[in-house]
Structures are given as C-alpha cells and as structure tokens.
C-alpha cells in the first residue's frame, strides 16, 4: 500500500490506474528484496509515556537538498503523540528525507520534534546502515551544547519544557571529524557572549588559549536556517566583535567553530 497527499489541503484528490497496470495473466511472483547498499540513519523519539515515533534520513544519487516527490515523504501530523521529522530549510517536515550522497564535507540535518507536555525524552538511532568508513552520526543539542555519538545504543536523554519550539534545538550531524562532547561542554563554560539580548553586534569572549586563532561564527534562526556567517580573525585580545544585520526579534543559535571544538550559545536579539 501507499499514501497519497493532495497538493492543496482540504481539497479532493483523484488517483487513476490504466489497464496497463493490471495483471493480464495468472502468475505466482516471488518477492525477493535485494540487500540495500543505501546509507541510512533511522532516528526514534521516545517520550516518557506513549508510543515511539521515527524519522529516516538516507543518501542517494537521485536526491537533492530540497523536496523530492519521488524520494521523500511528508510527515503526517500527530494529534496527541510524539512526532519526529527532519526539517529542510523552506520545506515541510519530512518523515523520510533523501539527500545527495555523503562526501568529505559535513552534513547537518535540522530535526523537528514534538511531544505532549513537558518531561524526559530519548532520541536514539535504532538503525545505522551503510555509512561510509570513518563517517560518524552525531546528535547535536544546541540548547545544552551536548554532542552524542548515535552509535551508542542508549541514545540521548533530555528534558523538554512545555511550549519549547519544535525546531532549532536538535540536529543530526554526519562527519568524519571526531567531535568530543566533553571537550565542547568544558570549552563552552570558558566562552561568553554579550550583550545578550543583542542589537547591532555581539561580542565573543574566548579563553586566552584561543586569542590568536580565527573563529568561524554561524548564526541560525529557530528553523535552523543560516542567517549570518562570519570569520572572526585572530587577535591579540580575547574579545571579538561580530556585526549583526537587521534581524527579527527572537531567540537564535550562535555556533562558534574553534580549533579546540564547537561552542553553541543561545542569543536573544531585540
């Protein structure tokens, strides 16, 4: 069986099959599925109570970073249970998200998750298949700065507050670089940003060990879309200034890629 989705909500749809699609003679077909070689990550969201929900990201030569009608599947809304989907920029949430083949560059996929009420949730990867040698799947929590290797069976347990935005906090990162969550968390405590809330610029204060090294700064909105990218040059001092364009008031995520690891900070803009 299969699902059919109309192009416009609340409008009738029609599916037709020609006679060419019908079997014209008796047959006893044998269903034999070949072993798949497609790289795939299956994610599962488990709330404290209730059923688990899943989302799939896979990589194939026919895919684009946008919506592919023949390869992707739109996420069906959940009335009162957990809901997990990937959230491409400028597209609808996807239950199945096909992306171009993995290469040497990092791939980061924004996630959308919801569950009724506040409480503990667990995100894990029950299926990891055919990832290239050396490629590691990580779950990134922009709120806490935690980075979890999804090859760990237990996954990542976290607390979600009532009314927390469905997007902007979690992402799936596939990289051949080694990401150390403990190093990132320790480093995060040594980095500060101010003023917060910010207006036209934000100052980034780094530890003295990083004072002479450049830093790559990326500002993302609550949908995971990149709003500003900037290279902050190394300087003798520990403080760098990042200009901000006119942006809508709200909560943003500032990612600072340093030679010592990734630092993630929440930045309010007024």
Q: Does the N-terminal peptide bond of residue 195 adopt cis geometry, omega within 30 degrees of 0?
A: yes
Examine the fold and report which residue of 123, 145, 179 is the final residue of a domain before the chain moves on.
Answer: 179
pTM comes to: 0.62
Examine the fold and report which residue of 155, 179, 203 is the final residue of a domain before the chain moves on.
Answer: 179
For residue 54, give its domain range: 40-179
Residue 193 in any domain: the answer is yes
pLDDT tens digits, 140-156: 888 777 788 898 777 88
pLDDT tens digits, 10-44: 788 888 888 888 777 776 666 667 788 999 999 99
Do 94 and 143 sit in the same domain of this protein? yes
Over residues 193-203, the mean pLDDT reads 92
């Amino acid at each position: 069986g299969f699902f059919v989705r109309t192009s416009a909500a609340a409008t009738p749809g029609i599916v037709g099959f020609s006679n060419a699609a019908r079997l014209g003679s008796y047959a006893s077909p044998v269903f034999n599925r070949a072993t798949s070689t497609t790289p795939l990550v299956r994610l599962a969201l488990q709330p404290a109570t209730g059923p688990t929900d899943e989302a799939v990201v896979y990589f194939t030569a026919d895919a684009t970073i946008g919506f592919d009608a023949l390869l992707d599947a739109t996420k069906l809304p959940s009335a009162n249970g957990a809901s997990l989907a990937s959230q491409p920029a400028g597209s609808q949430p996807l239950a199945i998200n096909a992306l171009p083949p993995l290469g040497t560059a990092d791939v980061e996929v924004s996630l959308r998750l919801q569950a009724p009420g506040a409480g503990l949730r667990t995100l894990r990867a029950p299926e990891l298949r055919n990832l290239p040698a050396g490629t590691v799947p990580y779950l990134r929590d922009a709120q806490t700065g935690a980075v979890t290797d999804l090859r760990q069976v237990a996954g990542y347990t976290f607390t979600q507050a009532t009314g927390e935005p469905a997007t902007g906090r979690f992402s799936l990162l596939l990289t051949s670089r080694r990401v150390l969550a403990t190093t990132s968390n320790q480093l995060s405590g040594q980095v500060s940003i101010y003023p917060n809330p910010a207006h036209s610029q934000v100052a980034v204060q780094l530890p003295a060990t990083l004072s002479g090294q450049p830093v790559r700064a990326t500002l993302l909105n609550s949908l995971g879309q990149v709003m500003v990218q900037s290279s902050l040059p190394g300087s003798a001092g520990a403080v760098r200034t990042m200009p901000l364009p006119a942006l809508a008031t709200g909560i943003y995520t500032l990612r600072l890629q340093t030679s010592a690891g990734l630092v993630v900070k929440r930045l309010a803009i007024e």
